Amino acid sequence: MELGTASAEPGELARGYVEVTQLPTGTPEQLPVVIANGEENGPTLWITGGIHGDEATGVAVAQDTMRESLPPELSGTVVCVPVINPAGLRRNARTSYYSDDDPNRKFPDPESDSSRPPEVQERIDERLYQEIVDSADALVDNHTAGVNSYPFVIRDRVLYGERRSEEEAQDLAEELAALVEATGLPLLTEYPVDEYVEQSLQRSTAGAVCNAAGIPAFTTEFGTHSVVTEDIREAGVAGMYGVMDELGMLESWPEDIAEPGAFEAPVDFPTRRFNGPRTETAGLVRHRVEAGDVVEESEVVADIVTSAGEQLDTVEAEHDGYIIGRTEGLAVYEGDAVLRMAARDDGELLAPRDPEA
């Protein structure tokens, strides 16, 4: 197996780099690559991280999955790119310095039309995407959600229409569900389809690989950003091995890798991602809840106070569910979300790309 300068024979682990663009300094922009090539044939799993340059635990999970002892344990190949946004990593920031928008919304979407020529981040994402879809049987893209947040897996809505029939979408969704469950992490389905497309999440790393290429792919969110959280890192590595096991890539479970399932969903009903509730009053936010707390619709979850500490307003939960994390920052403006939640989800996993077609 080869990617860039990394070349691994059967039974080997190899490290190298793949060039994705040229920098104005005359040097190439390179992504680090680690390949674990098993001694027996089998699927190819891609593991990526660091699309946002400050998401430390996601990077650590990708790195620590790729051990020297992995190739002899494998049937198949694991290709890992631990940092796919080195321009963000260099400044410990979410975005790159190529542009100030989200690099995880630049992957290909064949069903979108644009007359604007692609800029450098889109070109980088396109080149990486092509490498992924040329060999991958599955992909896991590792992220970090926010300060003190609860770890979870995001499962994309599976779209049908121009790219695939509803029956094909159902088959893809079933493959995806098995891999997600194998991580042992709490599951959140993505936003409802209108919001999903409105936010260009079909152009995220996992969204594009899943919905454009039809390869099962999903996103993990591993706790706080900027620093590695050890218990979540350990659960994340266990989740990566769980995916390998589900794909039939492991002969046996390694003795020094934890079993998946260290974190459980605090509720027993299906949930989806939800940014909210939002405050209608500007002021300073004082949260009444924290990550992992279960809440009910209409429950007061935060107070809004003046800078002198006087009560101005309260914020109520809009849905049943549990708290993924609190929004960063003390000051809030009207319309700002104060929490990120796993909200009760009664929607369909499969959805037409164009509901009006």
Region 100-127 average pLDDT: 88
pLDDT of residue 100: 80
Model confidence at 357, in pLDDT bands (50, 70, 90)?
low
Cα 270 from Cα 170, distance rounded (Å): 18
pLDDT at 116 exceeding the cut of 90: no
pLDDT of residue 209: 97
pLDDT of residue 52: 95
Region 57-85 average pLDDT: 97
Helix, strand, or coil here: 120?
A: helix
Per cent of the chain over pLDDT 90 is 88
pLDDT of residue 356: 64
Region 213-230 average pLDDT: 95
Structure-token match 């190298």, residue found: 16
Contact 255, 181 (CB under 8 A): no
Model confidence at 167, in pLDDT bands (50, 70, 90)?
very high
pLDDT at 173 exceeding the cut of 60: yes
pLDDT at 15 exceeding the cut of 90: yes
Could you tell me which of 7, 30, 27, 28 has the C-alpha nearest to residue 17? 30
Region 178-198 average pLDDT: 94
pLDDT of residue 117: 86
Cα 319 from Cα 313, distance rounded (Å): 19
Model confidence at 112, in pLDDT bands (50, 70, 90)?
confident
pLDDT digit string, tens, across residues 75-92? 999 999 999 999 999 999
Could you tell me which of 69, 16, 2, 66 has the C-alpha nearest to residue 39? 69
Burial 77-105 (b: 16+ CB within 10 A, else e): bbbbbbbbbbbbbeeeebbbebeeebbbb
What is the CATH number assigned to the segment(s) 2-246?
Answer: 3.40.630.10
pLDDT digit string, tens, across residues 240-260? 999 999 999 999 999 999 999
- Confirm whether 2-246 and 271-344 share one CATH topology: no
Model confidence at 278, in pLDDT bands (50, 70, 90)?
very high
Give the tokens for residue 347.
């929607």
Annotated domain spans of the chain: 2-246, 271-344
Cα 131 from Cα 151, distance rounded (Å): 28
- Kindly report the average pLDDT of the chain as a whole number: 95
What dihedral do alpha carbons 132, 137, 140, 141 form, nearest 10°?
20
pLDDT of residue 355: 64
Give the tokens for residue 284.
């300073």
Model confidence at 163, in pLDDT bands (50, 70, 90)?
confident
The CATH number of domain 271-344 is 3.40.640.10: no
Per cent of the chain over pLDDT 70 is 99
pLDDT at 113 exceeding the cut of 80: no
Helix, strand, or coil here: 187?
A: strand
Region 276-282 average pLDDT: 98
Cα 83 from Cα 46, distance rounded (Å): 13
pLDDT of residue 147: 85
